[in-house]
Amino acid sequence: MDGLYTDISSNSGDMDRNDTGDMTTASGVGNLTGALKRRFETPLGALFYDQTYGNPLFNRLSAPMGQSFEANAISDITACILSDKRVQSVKVQATVDRESRMITFSINFIANNGESGSFERGVSMRV
């Protein structure tokens, strides 16, 4: 067992289905990537049964985008990803567009079993 588990596969929130209409599953690093995307998109504390689950970046909505903003945002995303016990390490890069208040994150991680994965996500910092 690789320690990364198996779950129902989803794409943009919809369950994936095969040609016969059956739900498909995601295993290994694919499952972990999906789980990290869901964690990234959930505001910290939004799950009533787990107040530690989620992304603290959403607490910065409408905050001034001064010099420390990018470093603080990267720190938030790093903490979010590392809070999944299956992740060994993560590298986060951010591209900030201050005019549109949009941040695009490139996230590269290494799972505890040595497999690596990555994904990108954009976040609007407007309310």
Read off the pLDDT of residues 82-105 as tens digits, 9 standing for 90 and up. 999 999 999 999 999 999 999 999
Contact between residue 107 and residue 90 where contact means Cβ atoms under 8 Å apart: yes
pLDDT digits (tens, 9 = 90+) for 9-61: 666 666 667 777 776 666 678 889 999 999 999 999 999 999 999 999 999 98
126 band by pLDDT with thresholds 50, 70 and 90: confident
Strand residue runs (E) in 1-115:
6-8, 10-11, 14-15, 25-27, 87-97, 102-111
**Domain locations in the chain?**
27-124
Rounded distance, CA 1 to CA 96, Å? 39
Q: Which CATH number fits domain 27-124: 3.40.50.1010, 3.60.15.10, 3.10.450.40, 3.40.50.10490?
A: 3.10.450.40
What's the confidence (pLDDT) of residue 36?
96
The mean pLDDT of 76-85, rounded to a whole number, is 97
pLDDT of 1 above 60: no
Give 53's contacts (C-beta < 8 A, 6+ positions apart): 39, 42, 44, 45, 46, 47, 83
